[in-house]
């Protein structure tokens, strides 16, 4: 959402995907605090935001899913410490 800030229509579409069930955020920070904290420590020099750490953690939990992102930092992040994330990176909105 942050990177879509200047694209009002894209934000609306993302909310529509969430609302109609096409996109689901199945993550609870409170049950993943330790793993998220470990990720943020590992990527402290990048730096990794809390949102980024949560997304990487979700990629670890939901192995078969890809990450939709506009953020190039996700090419650096690894799940389970060594596995590149499967990314969907639209080049133009």
3-state secondary structure string across 18-83: HHCCCCCCCCCHHHCHHHHHHHHHHCCCCCCCHHHHHHHHHHHHCCCCCEECCCHHHHCCEECCCE
The model's confidence at residue 26, banded by pLDDT at 50, 70 and 90, is confident
Direct distance between the N- and C-terminal alpha carbons of the chain, in angstroms, rounded to an integer: 13
Average pLDDT over residues 29-46: 95
User: Between residues 42 and 7, which one has the greater pLDDT?
Assistant: 42
- For residue 4, pLDDT over 90 is answered with no
Average pLDDT over residues 8-26: 90
pTM for this model (two decimals):
0.78
Average pLDDT over residues 82-87: 96
Res 25: pLDDT? 81
Res 92: pLDDT? 56
């Amino acid at each position: 959402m942050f990177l879509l800030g200047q694209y009002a229509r894209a934000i609306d579409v993302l909310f529509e995907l969430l609302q109609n069930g096409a996109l689901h955020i199945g993550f609870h920070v409170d049950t993943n605090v330790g793993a998220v904290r470990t990720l943020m420590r590992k990527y402290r020099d990048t730096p990794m935001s809390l949102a980024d750490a949560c997304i990487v953690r979700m990629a670890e939990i939901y192995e078969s899913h890809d990450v939709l992102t506009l953020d190039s930092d996700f090419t650096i992040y690894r799940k389970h410490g060594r596995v590149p994330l499967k990314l969907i990176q639209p080049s133009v909105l």
